[in-house]
């Protein structure tokens, strides 16, 4: 067969680099947008923060003196004048009295008071370093023995590691260094005197009947132990008083691990109307530096000619200005797209945004908002991804407002949030001795007119982090 050339015509869609950058800007939450703008200012010499615009916004605020409210002859204590001397924009940060120590540092310090040889102390410190934040030793002793051999050149048997681990088990807090939940609870019980029938029964359950206990086979346990319900309930209450995660009992005063969410939208309903704004606090305004505009004017002669030695510099500055203009335009387009989409969601779910009752959420998918805004579904997806709105009833993740709809027996379309709320109410009010199974919940929903299958009930129950009926059983 001979090779031959052939021409074909085909249409291809290619995304320009500017469009890719626009998509990335649209996806960014407020905090990351602030970082992105500051990085662009560093990369593009003609961009600068518009400080004048920020100052104008600050000057528009009315200056109010405290003297307007507190007269000269007023004997109000001074602390009452200071108590509200804070802006609503001030960040509330936790104040720690001491810096605190980590759990590992506390354990190492306790080991120093034990009679250990230098080699034993090194091994004990290595085991402590393998304990996680919950206080558990998740690695097996053979792995630790191998690591000590490779990293420290120390030949330590598992029997020796077991002996040193027993020393760590005697440290505070009780239960530290356990390799399982059962061992953790037993270590805590061994620290206290087992001097009552309740404690002896609790220890026996943990030591000999832990598996049926975790599976909540209460009737079988009571029959096997030959005890009444009251004694069994007292033993369970004592077991529940123990800590399943002893590492959490140790306070690390200098660490604040609580995640901090910065909302992208702000909803104000204080005057009876819904006012939606984009949260731009911390996001700098940018502009093209006047210095470089003037530089171009100086390089270009009145007749439009440019000196040969200035052409390269002029081309460089013009390219940077074009890039800056596009970036400023992209930021404005992002603002318009976000506000347009969020306003449409607000109008679509207006009943929900009145008081935050999830049962009032209407079924809503991405295509519904895309059709109303005239934007593409992928654009709506990027807008709501990782974005939050601050409302009078809390900070809401936008993606949580979207849900599939289903029809009732009367033909009315309801949101899955409404069904989840009914499931939650049914489980909250159930008889814990005889919890409702998925089959029972399906029957309740069907009686209320919601046509739903048992597997769908199980799916919604798992989404609510609710265990199966057997695991919810209490006595």
Q: What pLDDT band is residue 70 in, cutting at 50, 70 and 90?
A: very low
pLDDT at 51: 67
Domain boundaries, the chain: 104-169, 179-249, 265-401, 405-472
The 10 Å Cβ neighbour count of residue 455 is 9
* Residue 101: band (very low, low, confident or very high) from pLDDT cuts 50, 70, 90: low
- Helices of type H across 349-472: 352-355, 366-373, 377-384, 416-428, 438-447, 454-463, 469-472
Structure tokens belonging to residue 54: 């920020």
25 contacts 274 by C-beta, under 8 angstroms: no
By the 10 Å C-beta count (0-12 exposed, 13-18 middle, 19+ buried), 65 is classed as exposed
Q: Using 50, 70 and 90 to split pLDDT, how confident is the model at 53?
A: low
pLDDT of residue 279: 85
**pLDDT at residue 428 in the model:** 87
- Predicted local confidence at residue 16, as pLDDT: 64
User: What percentage of the chain carries pLDDT values higher than 90?
Assistant: 17
> What is the average per-residue pLDDT within 293-299?
77
Q: Please, are residues 46 and 292 in contact by the beta-carbon 8 Å criterion?
A: yes
Q: Is the pLDDT of residue 299 over 80?
A: no
Helical segments of 112-190, H only: 118-129, 141-147, 158-169, 181-190
Cis peptide before 173 (omega within 30 of 0): yes
* Nearest CA among 88, 419, 14, 105 for reference residue 281: 88
- DSSP structure string for 406-436: EEBTTS-EEEHHHHHHHHHHHHHTS-TTSPP
Average pLDDT of span 335-351: 91
Cβ atoms of 389 and 265 within 8 Å: the answer is yes
Strands 286-288 and 47-49: antiparallel
- The arrangement of strands across the sheet holding 275-278 comes to 275-278, 265-268, 388-391, 394-397
pTM for this prediction: 0.54
Which CA distances in Å does 471 have to 176, 350, 461, 475? Answer: 27, 38, 13, 12
pLDDT (mean) for 214-232: 88
pLDDT in tens, 236-280: 899 988 988 888 766 444 444 445 778 889 988 887 788 898 887
**Sign of the dihedral defined by the CA atoms of residues 127, 129, 135, 140, in that order:** negative
408, pLDDT greater than 80? no
Token pair for 361: 């959420």
Containing 396, the helix (H) or strand (E) segment is: strand 394-397
In the block, residue with structure tokens 């000619």 = 305
Q: How many CB atoms lie within 10 A of CB 360?
A: 16
pLDDT of res. 62? 43
For 172-182, write each residue's pLDDT tens digit: 888 999 999 99
187-191, 202-206, 432-436: segment of lowest average pLDDT: 432-436
pLDDT at 13: 64
Bigger pLDDT: 393 or 282?
Answer: 393
Phi, psi for residue 311 in degrees, rounded to 5: -65, -45
Per-residue pLDDT, averaged over 280-297, amounts to 80
Per-residue pLDDT tens digits for 141-180: 999 999 889 888 889 899 999 999 999 999 988 899 999 9
What average pLDDT score do residues 377-404 get?
Answer: 86
Q: What is the pLDDT of residue 412?
A: 64
Tokens representing 342?
Answer: 């969020």
pLDDT at 470 over 80: no
Q: Considering the domain 405-472 in this protein, what is its CATH number?
A: 1.10.10.60
DSSP annotation string for 273-311:
S-EEEE--TT---EEE-HHHHHHHHHHB-TTS-B-GGGH
**CA 9 to CA 220: how far, in whole Å?**
77
- On the question of pLDDT at 92 being above 60, the answer is no
pLDDT of residue 56: 54
10-22 pLDDT per residue, tens: 776 666 666 777 7
pLDDT band at 28 (very low <50, low <70, confident <90, very high): confident
| Whole-number pLDDT of residue 204 | 92
As a whole number, mean pLDDT of residues 123-146 equals 91
Question: Smallest Cα–Cα separation from 81: which of 100, 60, 67?
Answer: 67
Residue 318 host element (H or E): helix 311-348
143-152 CB contacts, 8 Å cutoff, 24+ apart? 148/123, 152/122, 152/126
pLDDT of 405 above 80: no
Which residues have a Cβ under 8 Å from the Cβ of 194 and sit 6 or more positions away? 200, 203
Angle of the 438-447 helix axis to the 454-463 helix axis, nearest 10: 110
Percent of the chain scoring above 70 in pLDDT: 82
Question: Has residue 1 got a pLDDT over 70?
Answer: no
Are residues 167 and 124 in contact, defined by beta-carbon separation less than 8 angstroms? yes
- How much is the average pLDDT of 367-382? 90
């Amino acid at each position: 067969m001979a090779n031959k050339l052939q021409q074909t015509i085909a249409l291809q869609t290619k995304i320009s680099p500017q469009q890719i950058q626009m998509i990335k800007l649209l996806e960014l939450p407020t905090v990351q947008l602030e970082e992105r703008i500051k990085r662009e200012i560093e990369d593009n010499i003609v961009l600068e923060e518009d400080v004048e615009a920020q100052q104008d916004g600050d000057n528009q605020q009315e200056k109010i003196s405290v003297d307007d409210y507190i007269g000269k002859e007023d004997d109000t204590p001074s602390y009452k004048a200071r108590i509200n001397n804070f802006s609503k924009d001030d960040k509330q940060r936790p104040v720690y009295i001491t810096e605190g120590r980590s759990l590992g540092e506390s354990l190492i310090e306790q080991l120093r008071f034990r009679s250990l040889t230098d080699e034993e102390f090194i091994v004990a410190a290595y085991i402590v370093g393998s304990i996680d934040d919950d206080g558990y030793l998740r690695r097996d002793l053979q792995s630790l023995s191998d690591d000590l051999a490779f990293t420290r050149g120390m030949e330590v048997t598992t029997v020796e590691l077991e002996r040193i681990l027993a020393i760590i088990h005697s440290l505070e807090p009780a239960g530290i260094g356990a390799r399982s939940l059962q061992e953790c609870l037993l270590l805590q019980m061994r620290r206290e005197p087992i001097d009552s029938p309740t404690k002896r029964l609790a220890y026996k359950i943990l030591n000999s009947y832990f598996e049926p206990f975790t599976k909540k086979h209460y009737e079988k346990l009571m029959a096997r132990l030959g005890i009444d319900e009251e004694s069994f309930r007292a033993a369970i209450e004592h077991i529940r008083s123990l800590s399943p995660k002893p590492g959490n009992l140790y306070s690390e005063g200098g660490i604040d691990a609580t995640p901090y969410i910065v909302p992208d939208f702000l909803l104000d309903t204080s005057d009876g109307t819904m006012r939606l704004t984009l949260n731009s606090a911390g996001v700098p305004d940018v502009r093209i530096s006047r210095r470089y505009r003037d530089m171009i004017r100086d390089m270009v002669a009145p007749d439009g000619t440019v000196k040969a030695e200035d052409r390269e510099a002029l081309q460089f500055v013009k390219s940077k200005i074009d890039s800056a203009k596009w970036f400023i335009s992209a930021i404005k387009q992002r603002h318009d797209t976000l506000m347009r989409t969020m306003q449409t969601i607000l109008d679509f779910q207006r009943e929900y945004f009145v008081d935050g009752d999830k049962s009032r959420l209407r079924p809503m998918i991405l295509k519904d908002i895309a059709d109303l805004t005239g934007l593409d579904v992928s654009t709506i997806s990027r807008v709501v991804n990782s974005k939050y709105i601050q409302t009078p009833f809390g900070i809401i993740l936008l993606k949580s407002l979207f849900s599939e709809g289903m029809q009732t027996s009367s033909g009315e379309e309801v949101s899955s949030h409404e069904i989840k709320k009914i499931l939650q109410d049914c489980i909250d009010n159930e008889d814990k001795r005889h919890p409702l199974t998925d089959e029972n919940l399906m029957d309740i929903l069907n009686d209320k007119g919601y046509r739903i299958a048992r597997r769908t009930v199980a799916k919604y129950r798992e989404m609510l982090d609710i265990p199966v009926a057997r695991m919810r059983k209490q006595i």
